[in-house]
Amino acid sequence: MTRAQALLAALGLGLALVVPACGTKSDSPASPLTNATTREYPATGVTKTVELTITEFDWEVAPGAIYQAIGYNGAIPGPTIDVNAGDHVVIKLTNKATAPHSAHTHVVRFPTGSDGVKNGVAMPGQTITVEWDAVFAGTFPYHDHAGAEGETDGVSAGLFGALVVHAPDEPKAAQENVVLLSDFELGRYSQLPGVGTGDAGPSNVGTYRGGHQYMHTINGRAYEEWSPHFQAKLGDRVRWRVISIGSEFHTFHVHGHRWVTPEGVLTDNVNMGPGTYTTFDWTEDNVGDWLYHCHVPTHMEGGMVGVYTVTP
């Protein structure tokens, strides 16, 4: 051992000598994302302004399945807030709905006035400003935390979205797939083909195909033909940014692929509890049409499934 190696070993850094830097092996089937870190980034001096308007609207969860949604900027999920680590973000939040709502954001650094629970809540008809510093890199949710029944009311209605914070040293990905897993409520549908009434229970025909909740969604949509169809080419660096924001526990599973978690575990299926998030990369090595889905059978049956296509 050289003197430098002995010094690194003494500092607990000896591993750095034998483990290649993340993403440097092109033949690696998967590589952990380098920004899975607790490092706090310095201020960039850049301020980004995001306008979020909360409205009530009809949202088609699957063909013919109409949900009486509440969302940011007229869609589920709300717009992805995409910033660089160290940016300051100002959100102009306008509430055109009929109950108080907010935009509470995870992991960023903010004063209590931007919390979105008691402070930083927009009353109906009001526009407020909340702001925070995106000092940590990764994938995090923002969501309502001020609904009439606490956080669940607004979140199950559709008030959630993703925050993507890029680290300055992050390898560029050809594809960045943002995935939000959520659970909707039967009582909010104005029409839901395939669901029986009274004691009849769910029918076997129509849009809804079973499972025990109505419905389990991916980016506000259910089932393969309606949920996001992600695509990539062989050799692409593909990055998945996955957030679980509903009321149930899910797993996130992709067929034909595998990746390494920030904890160093090789997997193709990760646990996602409510309000959790993960980011991972791989170098694409497998052509075909692949399912991605929650591995809870009744959740997949209830809509939490989509297609990922890889072309040569």
Chain residues that interact with Cu ion, rule: CB under 5 A: 250, 294, 296, 299
Q: Which is nearer to Cu ion, 239 or 299 (CB)?
A: 299
The distance of closest approach from Cβ of residue 231 to Cu ion in the complex, given in angstroms and rounded to an integer, is: 23
Report helix, strand or coil for 298: helix
In angstroms, the CA 141 to CA 242 distance is: 10
Nearer to Cu ion, 198 or 273 (CB): 273
273, 185 Cβ separation under 8 angstroms: no
Instruction: Select 247 or 286, whichever has its Cβ closest to Cu ion.
Output: 247
Q: Which is nearer to Cu ion, 65 or 296 (CB)?
A: 296
Q: Which two tokens stand for residue 62?
A: 């699957």
Least distance CB 294 / Cu ion (angstroms) = 3
* C-beta neighbour count of 227 within 10 angstroms: 23
Alpha-carbon distance of 133 to 41, in angstroms, equals 10
**Strand 216-218 versus strand 266-267 pairing type:** unpaired
CB of 296 to Cu ion, least distance (A): 4
Rounded distance between C-alpha atoms, residue 158 and residue 66, angstroms: 13
Q: Which of 114, 244 has the CB closer to Cu ion?
A: 244
**What's the distance, Cα to Cα, between the start and end of the chain in Å?**
45
d(CA 102, CA 85): 23
Let me know if 250 is exposed, middle or buried by CB neighbors in 10 A (0-12, 13-18, 19+): buried
Nearest distance from C-beta of residue 59 to Cu ion, angstroms? 20
CA separation for the pair 233, 231 (Å, rounded): 7
Beta-bridge partner residues of 291: 307
Q: How far is the CB of 262 from Cu ion (least distance, A)?
A: 21
Residue 108 or 296: which CB sits closer to Cu ion? 296
Minimum distance from residue 183 beta carbon to Cu ion (Å): 8
Provide the minimum distance between the beta carbon of 241 and Cu ion in the complex, in angstroms, as a whole number: 18
The structure tokens 């935009």 sit at 103
Q: Which is nearer to Cu ion, 120 or 246 (CB)?
A: 246
